[in-house]
Amino acid sequence: MNAPLPNTQQGMRRRNLSLVMHAVAGHGPLSRAGVAGRIGLTRAAVSSLVDELIRGGLLVELGREQSGAVGRPGSALSLSCRGPVGIGAEIGVDHLAVCAVDLHGKVRARASAQADHRGRPAEPVLKELAELIRQVTEAARAEGLRPAGIAVAVPGLVARDTQTVVRAPNLGWEDIDLGDSLPYGVQLSVDNEANLGALAELWIGGDPAPQDFVHVSAEIGIGAAVVVEGRLLRGTHGYAGELGHVPVRPEGPACACGGRGCLEQYAGEEAVLRAAGLTATGRGVDLLAARAADGDRTVRRALSTAGAALGIALAGTVNLLDPQAVILGGALSRLAPWLLPSLERELTRRTAEPARPTLTVSRLGSEGPLLGAAHSVVRAVLDDPSSYAA
Amino acid sequence: MNAPLPNTQQGMRRRNLSLVMHAVAGHGPLSRAGVAGRIGLTRAAVSSLVDELIRGGLLVELGREQSGAVGRPGSALSLSCRGPVGIGAEIGVDHLAVCAVDLHGKVRARASAQADHRGRPAEPVLKELAELIRQVTEAARAEGLRPAGIAVAVPGLVARDTQTVVRAPNLGWEDIDLGDSLPYGVQLSVDNEANLGALAELWIGGDPAPQDFVHVSAEIGIGAAVVVEGRLLRGTHGYAGELGHVPVRPEGPACACGGRGCLEQYAGEEAVLRAAGLTATGRGVDLLAARAADGDRTVRRALSTAGAALGIALAGTVNLLDPQAVILGGALSRLAPWLLPSLERELTRRTAEPARPTLTVSRLGSEGPLLGAAHSVVRAVLDDPSSYAA
DNA sequence: ACTAATTTGTTAACGGCCATGACGAAATAG
DNA sequence: CTATTTCGTCATGGCCGTTAACAAATTAGT
């Protein structure tokens, strides 16, 4: 959660402030005594920490708890709904979206715009995004909220710990530094949309949210984000999660990556459209979902084949990682009804019973990356509250 | 490294003691000032920590450093070679082995015994192991060393954080609690041999040791241990690493697991022996290595086929995890010369260049699990030295 | 050979932070 | 209305890293 703080008393203090924030965030309104019991400190110590957090505008006191239990009731503490907000932004191939999420995880403001960004240069797109961010920031400020940071989800590869988009094939971007074009007074972070979608699943996906899962999405190619012990696995070079190029049939059709029979050759958008005998004008997913819903047999068969291929690739993944859950997110969640039967059949056949994960469809759907971006800022506040005190 | 210590002053102290130990362990003899600079504390604080560790018999002062640099020379600190030792033990299908490793990582005593344990009941085997442990413990004590714990590597599944072997198919054991039969006065831990082999690779495998890698071994089936950011990925149920049942050809031969075309059907010992036209009397690996070294074409072809299948399965793994390295360990390291060419060909073809891991053969070979077991105890000492002070 | 400069390790005063224990406050149980 | 329980606060104390000063031990320069 927050390892790299120095092992000094100040570092300890900061970690403890973070523990209090996480306790209150994760377990509803809580009294000082409740927090103390949960994080293993004394009431006196927690009182001091809470005072500091209240002064910093991060916690608020709601008033007496009425629990009905014997003894003096505690004073309920809650995250401030007037404190910092995380600004999340998403650059999609056909839209822009921005939202503001408060410490409770509630969306407090949002704005979006439709436009086809395929092949458009980055500059005007980023100018438009900056305008949306300005609007949302204004709206948030009008409600007494303080933007604590901006996180941007992009459909492409982002160099680790930078603000640079190395390559976004669907946008046609290469080496674009978003820090140059979005120069705000707050922290700016940039990450891949599939990663942020998976993190959204981790943070706000379910109840209880799984801590070890594989999140499959298909926006650009087929990506799988792997979360282990509540941490996103990014890979040495940041390329982890390339499920699309896992071999399904070693002698299958040649793939652009140089291999043969990669998953993308069976379950990629292009391959599925071809198998369905369709050519997409706009978003292929929309077309496939519409036709499948209409009962088109060829389309349904194509989706079933894709689901089987996904199941084979995921069977390998599950055997290797033994995750708690497999979650279909992003565009796949819309096609889930027709993918799932064959997917589940293959997955079940090829995995041993005790290690079989639950197979679910994301509740967040296409909202995942945007919410994940905003929440990543909120998490940063919870992880180191002293840096974000008023 | 050591997260679960409480965030109190005592917890901070313990973490700092651990930081000092790790600094000295990882970066040779070091002065107090050197340690201070490395871990970010002041010289005064480090002095106090070092005093405590010296009093506890964990560190020793070697005398003046002669670096040639200007200024007063520091006093070189080193891990004690008379302090605690980790006792590692290994239960193999055809042997038992025990060793003692000191804080420097040096093997200070060892003992082993050959015997076929297939289908033999657990009790006599454990009795014999206990005798070997007694011998090694004696020998260590004779050198002024204190056993700090015993770790046992077993060829089977071990329930998380217990001393119970759930299932060891090659031994024919089920639900054996080693704590019942090895009742020593020190901490006893039990883990799977493939896991410990991978951890050995992490701790003493290379220079620098990779922090993100996949370690493939083939003692029981084909297992892959995944290490991410220096931590072993065990999986939700402890079943992670079942590389043997990753699908290679979805319509391939049926596998005992219920799937088809699993890697084991191509690269498992049984499958390779069959393809080579051999029947093993003793250890199949020995036979294969001998024949291949003799130049037997059929055997070499069988190994080449197995290597290709391994390459396909590993290509999926690499695409998913983007590890820094892939390491062939255990029995595979002996067959590496004949597996590698085809393995590397498939792996290279099916992975993108920037994410391509280095492919290496374990230096530790079949010693990995035993050394890993002993080192796991040593690591425990480094991670929380105050618990092991004299 | 002698001085200046540099670095090490120790010491004492200081300050931050959590634990301890006592206390008043606010509820329930009888 | 009293006893009991729990909550939040306060004063005290102890632990621990920091700061700053100092003696010790070496090299660099003249």
Tens digits of per-residue pLDDT, A141-196? 999 999 999 999 999 999 988 999 999 988 999 999 999 988 678 899 999 999 99
- Whether residues B237 and A8 touch (CB distance < 8 A) is answered with no
Beta pairing, strands B107-114 & A107-114: unpaired
Contact A175, A165 (CB under 8 A): yes
**Helix or strand holding residue A168 (H, E):** strand A164-168
Q: List Cα–Cα distances, B92 to B51, B171, B284, in angstroms.
A: 42, 8, 15
The minimum CA-CA distance between A194 and chain B, rounded to whole Å, is: 13
Fold of B206-363: Nucleotidyltransferase; domain 5 (3.30.420)
Interface residue of A1, A2, A5, A7 to substitute, partner B, most B CBs within 10 Å = A7
Q: Do B257 and A40 touch (CB under 8 A)?
A: no
Does residue A2 surpass a pLDDT of 60?
no
Q: State the smallest CA–CA distance between residue B108 and chain A in angstroms.
A: 34
pLDDT band at B2 (very low <50, low <70, confident <90, very high): very low
**Percent share of chain A, pLDDT over 90:** 84
**How far is it, in rounded angstroms, from Cα A98 to Cα A132?**
7
Chain A positions in Cβ-Cβ contact with residue B16 (cut-off 8 Å)? 7
- The model's confidence at residue A5, banded by pLDDT at 50, 70 and 90, is low
Mean pLDDT of A334-352: 97
Closest nt by CA–C1' to A70: C28
The domain B84-199+369-388 having CATH identifier 3.30.420.40: the answer here is yes
Which residue gives the smallest C-alpha to C1' distance to C11? B44
Chain B residue with minimum CA distance to A239: B322
Q: Which pair of structure tokens corresponds to residue A340?
A: 């799932």
Cross-chain CB nearest to A349 (options B3, B236, B258)? B258
How many pairs of residues across A and B have Cβ atoms under 8 Å apart? 173
The answer to whether B253 contacts chain A (CB < 8 Å) is no
Are the CB atoms for B2 and B18 separated by under 8 Å?
Answer: yes
B354-385 per-position pLDDT tens digit: 999 999 999 998 999 999 999 999 999 999 99
The stretch B158-163 carries a mean pLDDT of 92
SS3 B206: coil
CA distance B237 to chain A (A): 6
Give the one of A244, A246, A319 whose C-beta lies nearest to B245's C-beta. Answer: A319
Compute CA distances B365 → A125, B98, B197, B308, whole Å. Answer: 55, 16, 9, 21
CA distance A81 to B377: 48
With beta carbons less than 8 A apart as the criterion, state whether B100 and B145 touch. Answer: yes
- Tokens (6 digits) for A359: 């197979």
Instruction: Enumerate the residues of chain B whose CB falls inside 8 A of the CB of residue A7.
Output: 12, 15-16, 19, 39-41
| Nearest chain B residue to A318, by CA | B240
Report if CB A48 to strand C is under 7 Å.
yes
Find the closest chain B residue to A261 by CA distance.
Answer: B350
Structure confidence by residue, pLDDT tens digits, A18-39: 999 999 999 989 999 999 999 9
Quote the Cα angle for A96-A98-A102, to 5°: 165
Residue B282 is predicted with a pLDDT of 72
- Strand A146-154: give its sheet, edge to edge: A107-114, A95-102, A84-91, A146-154, A188-192
pLDDT band, very low/low/confident/very high, at B4 (cuts 50, 70, 90) = low
Which runs of consecutive H residues, i.e. helices, occur in A253-330?
Answer: 264-267, 269-276, 284-294, 297-321
Separation of alpha carbons B87 and B92, rounded Å = 16
Q: How confident is the model at residue A283 (pLDDT cuts 50, 70, 90)?
A: confident
Strand-pairing partners, residue A27, are none
Residues of A in contact with B261 (CB under 8 A): none
Question: B350: which chain A residues are within 8 Å (Cβ-Cβ)?
Answer: 245, 247, 257-260, 262
Asked if pLDDT for residue A220 goes beyond 90, the answer is no
Distance between the alpha carbon (CA) of B66 and the C1' atom of C1, Å: 23
CATH number of B9-79: 1.10.10.10
The residue of B236, B257, B384 whose CB has the most chain A CBs within 10 angstroms, and thus the best one to mutate to test that interface, is B236
Q: Chain A contacts of B237, Cβ < 8 Å?
A: 322, 354-355
- Residues A193, A374: contact at Cβ < 8 Å? no
Q: Contacts of residue A320 in chain B, CB cutoff 8 Å?
A: 224, 226, 240-243, 246, 317, 320
- Residues (51-70, chain A) with CB within 7 Å of strand C atoms: 64, 68-70
Task: Tell me the average pLDDT across B145-159.
Answer: 95
Q: Give the closest of B15, B226, B260 to A7, CB-based.
A: B15
Tokens of A279: 């050519």
pLDDT the model gives residue B52: 98
Nearest chain B residue to A237 by CA: give it. Answer: B355
Residue B313 with chain A: CB contacts under 8 Å: 316
Name the residue closest to the C1' of D27 by its CA: B70
Nucleotides of strand C under 7 angstroms from a protein beta carbon: 5-12, 15-21, 24-29
CA dist., res. A198 & res. A194, Å (int) = 6
Give the torsion sign (CA, A262, A288, A357, A366): positive
Q: Which nucleotide does the CA of B61 lie closest to, via C1'?
A: C9
pLDDT tens by residue, B261-277: 999 999 999 999 999 99
Lowest mean pLDDT among B97-101, B225-229, B231-235, B280-284: B280-284
What's the pLDDT score for residue A4?
A: 57
Q: How far off is chain A from B312, nearest CA to CA, in Å?
A: 7
> Residue A194 phi/psi, 5° resolution?
-70, -40
Question: Which of B302, B265, B309, B308 minimizes the C-alpha distance to B287?
Answer: B302
Average pLDDT, rounded, for chain A: 94
Distance of alpha carbon A162 from alpha carbon A180, whole angstroms: 12
What is the location of CATH 3.30.420.40 in chain B? 84-199+369-388, 206-363
Interface test with A, best of B319, B327, B353, B359 (most A CBs within 10 A): B319
| pLDDT of A119 higher than 90 | no
Average pLDDT, chain B: 94
Instruction: Give the pLDDT of residue A169.
Output: 87
B47 CB-to-strand C distance under 7 Å? yes
Q: How far is the CA of B104 from the C1' of D16 (A)?
A: 29
Q: Provide the CB-side half-sphere exposure for B151 (13 A, CA).
A: 29
**pLDDT at residue B203 above 90?**
yes
Query: Do A236 and B212 count as a contact with CB atoms less than 8 A apart?
Result: yes
Which chain D positions have some atom within 7 A of a protein CB?
4-11, 14-20, 23-28
Query: Which residues in chain A touch residue B306, judged by CB atoms under 8 angstroms apart?
Result: none
Contacts with A, B 299-358, CB within 8 Å = 312-313, 315-317, 319-324, 346, 349-352, 354-355, 357
Q: Is the dihedral of CA B6, B7, B12, B16 positive or negative?
A: positive
Q: Which residues of A touch B17 (CB under 8 A)?
A: none
Phi-psi label, residue A306: left if phi above 0, alpha if psi -120 to 50, beta otherwise: alpha
- At B306-365, the pLDDT tens digits run 999 999 999 999 999 999 999 999 889 999 999 999 999 999 999 999 999 999 999 998
Write down the pLDDT at residue A7.
84
The proportion of chain A whose per-residue pLDDT surpasses 70, expressed as a percent, equals 98
Asked if pLDDT for residue B117 goes beyond 80, the answer is yes
- Residue A249: which of B15, B241, B250 has the nearest Cβ? B250
Mapped onto helix, strand or coil, the DSSP state of residue A356 is coil
Taking the CA of residue B341 and the C1' sugar atom of nucleotide C4, their distance in angstroms comes to 65
Q: Which residue is nearest to nucleotide C18 (CA to C1')?
A: A45
Does A355 contact B3 at a Cβ distance shorter than 8 Å?
no
Give the B window 17-46 contacts with A, CB below 8 Å. Answer: 19, 39-41
- CATH 1.10.10.10 boundaries in chain A: 9-79
Residues of B in contact with A6 (CB under 8 A): 40
